[in-house]
Amino acid sequence: MKIEQYIKTEFEKRLEHSSCLVIYDPEHRYSKIVHSLASKTTKVVDASNSMILAREEALGAWVHLSENPELRLVIYLPWEKPKTLLAKRNDPFAPFFLGGAVFPDKDADTYRELCLQAFPAQGQAIAKLFEAGVPSFAAVNSLAGGAVWPHLRALLGVESEREMILALLAPPAGIAAQLEQGGSWIEEARRLISTTLGLELHGSDWHAMQETLGRYILFSEFALDIPCSLPATLSEVPHAESDRRSLIYAICESLRDSHSTRARYRELAEKVDISLGLSEKFSETDDLGQRETFMFQNKSRLKACVSFAKSSNFDAAKKICDAEEQSIWFESSDAIRSLWTCVRAAVTLLEGIAAFESQVQDRTRVAGIVSLYIDSFSSLDAAYCDLEAFLADLEPDNNGGEVFQEFVDSARTAYFRAAESLHRSFIQAVEHESWINSARNDQAAVFRNKIVPLLEKREKTAFFMIDALRWDLAKELRQSLPAAYRVTIDMAYGRLPSITMVGMASLLPDADSKLSISIEEGTVVPRIGSVRVASVQERIAHLKSIYGDRVKAVSMSELEQVRKADIGDAVDLLVVRSTEIDAAGESLGKEALPMLSLLLRNLLRALERSRKLGFAKAVIVTDHGFLLLPAPKAGDAITKPEGAWEAAGPRYLLGEGIESTGVKLFDASLVGVPGYAKQFATPAGLGSFIFGARYVHGGLSLQECVLPVLTIDFPNQPPKKHEVGVSLSYKGGMTTKITTMRPSFDLSVSHTDPFKGEYEPEIAIAIAARAGGKEVGRAQASAGYDPGSGCFRLKPGKSIKITLAMSEEYRGSFTVSAFDPVTHELYAKLDLETDYTE
């Protein structure tokens, strides 16, 4: 192999992982190699003649990269790579390498190191060449003839010395059998390894020699990377010297990067760790270098990530998370995947809090605080819920230890501290102004403002009355809707107390002028005029008393069975109701938070179903939001103030009483309690009157009372089908039986036609495990999973590991499906069965 071909191969490897590669070459050494990369899918832009024209050409190619995952862009810049921050800012091509890959990128990218990697056996000769000056390609290639390995080339079918070493370490199945038989190639292999790596192999048993070679290479990478000295017990263990660092690193990276050799690498690493007792010897060492040769180094990276996050260096912390998600150990371990998914969620939450607190904020007026919540803080609510959803699925044997738990606790504490601060400003502003007034978007006016105009024009509308659709969940829903849906999201000020009976009644006709509540035997009972509207049946009866057969009501779970014939021409308003979010929150067991995302996925499906039934629009409303409180500690419950309280909930009291520590009393009419003349009491902070309650509502807070109203115009045509191929496999297709309740699968996405345009950057994929039409398993929250929508999001060309959490009660056959969350178009499926050891 010539040095030019080796360098071209290095460029091609980088283009496998990045769609754009920027190459700096002040010596004009690599120009011909770069131009040889050009193909139908690879665009080469050369700035040798004009920087301005080259940048325009590069920008033109850049915008098309997201349309097709097969496209690549190479930018050749015949000048020095910028080194300082100021130089990078002034470099007109900086955005390209910041969004892609760059060469040179590391010490191993120098011309000398590339030559040493290409011809490791000729290290001394190459050193002499460079001592005399920078050699030409021809001079370097002339050295290749000095080391010929005819038997190895014939046996292994590869040319370069590095590829020979890789093949000897992890031979393909056909070659492995020949290696076991021995032969004249063994002596040649000894000389190759001695010359390139400095290791002397002895004996004639190739299997034993192979184990020695593997231990030497992996331990060498570890020893060369760690910043500390080796302990005395390991000082005599053979390992490569620093002049062979590049080759050692390159071999280990190749073993980890190739799907065909990863299993072999993991096997070698485990044996080396056990035989040398590395995990025990370095259990107290914090800094174990930048490379993860062995699984136990994961703990060191965790400590580094946490340290960066605590010092607010979130870019560095996220960089470690990115690296861990590419780690061979992340791919092979459910526990490591779930651990780092939680770590990333905690880093994201802390970064969001820091950004929020750095804003210039006006917290003096209710309207300003509400805008601040909608625009900024609601994203922190979502990030916190994501963290808790990931934690609910955390593998018990994750090995994160105290470092991880303290980090998670610090993220939780930071979130509630920020939430509490904003809440107290909000309550203070309400005290100076009010909550509900004629100038604001009253929840009780939603029907008049949103539904009545549509009914007057006889536009067929699906009216989704969803229990507990908090603002952040509505934003997630909006982002998950097909691009063809035209969506607007407005805000309504929720009526108090923020409970289902009052909230749902506020969304009915005439609520803006006739809604009132009374207290009957401790229960809040809403009425519109004299008509009681406390139950679902009473609310639907009120709607039908006004609009008659123009109204049809179904639960969201029933909608799938509804046919056009069931609707008829007379129905203009399809009322779809759901209490699933509230019900899941009320239970708030281990499964509740991950289940919230499945409920949003059901709503996505229900919207598309209503479109198919002939409805041109959908309006989505909710009765109230909610607070998700931390795990309770002794003394956390708020003491109820003394008084004659007629009705009570976790976050509210109605009646008359005396203000006390930790409680705020309001004139009920000033804070939007309809038709009630006494007092409304709520905790001054984000607490509860009931000890142990985590999912709560009923009170006055931004999370409970700032309510979304989504209006959707459906397209005439169904959402465009994704031109993608989705692959779902279990254990490489070698078995159809699962032996664990947490089986792992490989999920990947590719385009069926790489030259057809208009591809989305990411594809949303829902995963379900069903038997007899019932869910018997769900996708666990992990990397690539979006807790908000309950889907995995993958870019074409990517693959991830996913894990299912199977029902503990179910035994038997089932089907795992990958499908579009909106249209339920089936992408892939697997028919499996349980085979647990009971």
* Model confidence band, residue 44 (pLDDT cutoffs 50, 70, 90): very high
Residue 56: which residues within 8 A CB-CB, separation 6 or more? none
Provide the pLDDT for residue 750: 74
Phi, psi for 371 (deg, rounded to 5): -65, -40
Residue 639 contacts residue 481 (beta carbons within 8 Å): no
Q: What angle do CA 59, 60, 64 make, to 5 degrees?
A: 105
Side-chain-side CA neighbours of residue 466 (13 Å)? 31
Q: Is the predicted pLDDT of residue 595 greater than 70, yes or no?
A: no
Note the pLDDT tens digit of each residue in 657-674.
Answer: 998 999 999 999 989 999
Residue in 598, 625, 592, 603 with CA at minimum distance from that of residue 467: 625
Full DSSP string of 382-407: HHHHHHHHHHHT--TT---HHHHHHH
* Model confidence band, residue 754 (pLDDT cutoffs 50, 70, 90): very low
| Average pLDDT for 506-511 | 98
A 10 A CB-CB count for 707 gives 27
Provide the pLDDT for residue 780: 84
Note the pLDDT tens digit of each residue in 72-86.
Answer: 999 999 999 988 878
* Model confidence band, residue 314 (pLDDT cutoffs 50, 70, 90): very high
- CA–CA separation, 677 and 304 (whole Å): 58
Provide the pLDDT for residue 92: 87
User: Average pLDDT of the chain?
Assistant: 90
Residue 813 contacts residue 771 (beta carbons within 8 Å): yes
- CA–CA separation, 162 and 169 (whole Å): 11
* Model confidence band, residue 25 (pLDDT cutoffs 50, 70, 90): very high
Provide the pLDDT for residue 409: 96
- CA–CA separation, 226 and 220 (whole Å): 10
Question: How does 513-544 read in b/e, with b if 16+ C-beta sit within 10 Å?
Answer: ebbbbeeeeeebbbbbeebbbbebebbbebbb
Residue in 776, 777, 772, 762 with CA at minimum distance from that of residue 821: 762
Q: Is 712 helix (H, G, I), strand (E, B) or coil?
A: strand
Is the bond preceding residue 796 a cis peptide, omega within 30 degrees?
Answer: no
End-to-end Cα, the chain, rounded Å:
56
Q: Is 695 exposed, middle or buried (0-12, 13-18, 19+ CB in 10 A)?
A: buried
Q: Is the predicted pLDDT of residue 753 greater than 60, yes or no?
A: no
Residue 145: which residues within 8 A CB-CB, separation 6 or more? none
Is the bond preceding residue 453 a cis peptide, omega within 30 degrees?
Answer: no
Residue in 611, 664, 613 with CA at minimum distance from that of residue 638: 664
CA dihedral defined by 793, 795, 801, 807, rounded to 10 degrees?
30
Note the pLDDT tens digit of each residue in 83-107.
Answer: 887 888 788 888 787 767 899 988 8
Q: Is the predicted pLDDT of residue 755 greater than 70, yes or no?
A: no
**What six digits make up the tokens of 257?**
């990067």
Note the pLDDT tens digit of each residue in 192-237.
Answer: 999 899 999 988 888 899 999 999 999 999 999 999 999 999 999 9
Question: What Cα–Cα distance (Å) separates residue 819 from each residue in 320, 480, 623, 771?
Answer: 32, 14, 31, 16
- CA–CA separation, 548 and 536 (whole Å): 16
Residue 375: which residues within 8 A CB-CB, separation 6 or more? none
**What six digits make up the tokens of 663?**
């409680």
**What six digits make up the tokens of 86?**
């100021």
Side-chain-side CA neighbours of residue 191 (13 Å)? 12
Note the pLDDT tens digit of each residue in 356-408.
Answer: 999 888 899 999 999 999 999 999 999 999 999 889 888 887 778 899 999 99
* Model confidence band, residue 445 (pLDDT cutoffs 50, 70, 90): very high
Q: Is the predicted pLDDT of residue 280 greater than 60, yes or no?
A: yes
Q: Which residues pair with 744 in a beta bridge?
A: 803
Phi, psi for 15 (deg, rounded to 5): -75, -15
Length in residues, the chain: 838
* Model confidence band, residue 133 (pLDDT cutoffs 50, 70, 90): confident
Residue 102: which residues within 8 A CB-CB, separation 6 or more? 21, 22, 23, 24, 81
DSSP 680: E
- The sheet carrying 101-103 orders its strands as 42-46, 72-77, 20-24, 101-103
Provide the pLDDT for residue 718: 74
Q: Is the predicted pLDDT of residue 416 greater than 70, yes or no?
A: yes
* Model confidence band, residue 759 (pLDDT cutoffs 50, 70, 90): very low
Report which secondary-structure segment, H or E, holds 478: helix 471-480
Residue 750: which residues within 8 A CB-CB, separation 6 or more? 69, 724, 725, 727, 796, 797
Provide the pLDDT for residue 796: 74
Q: Is the predicted pLDDT of residue 250 greater than 50, yes or no?
A: yes
DSSP 653: E
Strands 72-77 and 20-24: parallel
Report which secondary-structure segment, H or E, holds 432: helix 401-432
Tell me the three-class secondary structure of 452-473, residue by residue: HHHHHCCCCEEEEEECCCCHHH
Q: Is the predicted pLDDT of residue 171 greater than 50, yes or no?
A: yes
Residue 149: which residues within 8 A CB-CB, separation 6 or more? 161, 164, 188, 192
- CA–CA separation, 232 and 288 (whole Å): 17
Residue 728 contacts residue 828 (beta carbons within 8 Å): yes
Provide the pLDDT for residue 717: 78
- CA–CA separation, 488 and 787 (whole Å): 22
Residue 155: which residues within 8 A CB-CB, separation 6 or more? 175, 178, 179, 183, 185
- CA–CA separation, 790 and 598 (whole Å): 5
- CA–CA separation, 413 and 5 (whole Å): 55
Q: Is the predicted pLDDT of residue 456 greater than 60, yes or no?
A: yes
| Average pLDDT for 296-321 | 95
Strands 617-622 and 706-713: antiparallel
Provide the pLDDT for residue 758: 39
Note the pLDDT tens digit of each residue in 467-501.
Answer: 999 999 999 999 889 888 999 999 999 999 999 99
* Model confidence band, residue 702 (pLDDT cutoffs 50, 70, 90): very high
A 10 A CB-CB count for 269 gives 25
| Average pLDDT for 663-688 | 95
* Model confidence band, residue 757 (pLDDT cutoffs 50, 70, 90): very low
